[in-house]
Amino acid sequence: MIQRIQTLFLLGVLVLMTLMFFFPLAELIDSVNNSYSFIYRGIPSLTEGEPMLFKAYPVAILLAVIVLNVLVTIFSYKKRIRQIRLTVFNIFCLLGIVGLVYYNVNSQVELMQAIANYSIINAFPLVSIVLSYLAIRNIGRDEAMIRSMDRIR
């Protein structure tokens, strides 16, 4: 399992997408110079104990789906066609998370009359798309090699 290069690519996707849970995705600065962090759950209030200012549950759910999908993909190494299909699905989910974060941040920018400073963390889904594509290529090579070995027998 781990000796295959596509597993390393998928582990890279897993690490990058897990890091999105721990760092803010954007920072919103309003006209009074209050700084709000947009994390995967939304925008927490500035004071402790108050409810969140904005809840972004679709972002949290889609991030969880992506991480779980990558885990399932890594551990289905014996079924290469399923692995390819799950990775393609993951690429679409990664594109969705990019759009969803952008939409949620920009909707809050308009409501709060704020300026958005996106974090470098937002590039992680794009890097993950490239890593997923490389994994698909290598899974396809493995499948082609196995099928060619079956023909020789």
pTM for this prediction: 0.88
How large is the average pLDDT for residues 128-133?
Answer: 96
Neighbours of 97 (CB within 10 A): 23
Q: What is the DSSP letter of 52?
A: P
φ, ψ of residue 95 to 5 degrees: the values are -65, -35
pLDDT of residue 65: 96
Q: CB 28: neighbour CB atoms within 10 A?
A: 23
- pLDDT tens sequence across 25-61: 898 888 888 888 888 887 776 666 666 677 888 999 9
Check residue 41 and give its pLDDT. 80
pLDDT digits (tens, 9 = 90+) for 73-105: 999 988 989 999 999 999 999 999 999 999 988
Q: Please enumerate, as own/partner, the contacts of 48-54 that have beta carbons within 8 Å and a separation of 24 or more.
A: 54/104, 54/108
Domain-by-domain residue ranges, the chain?
5-152
Domain spanning 5-152, CATH class: mainly alpha
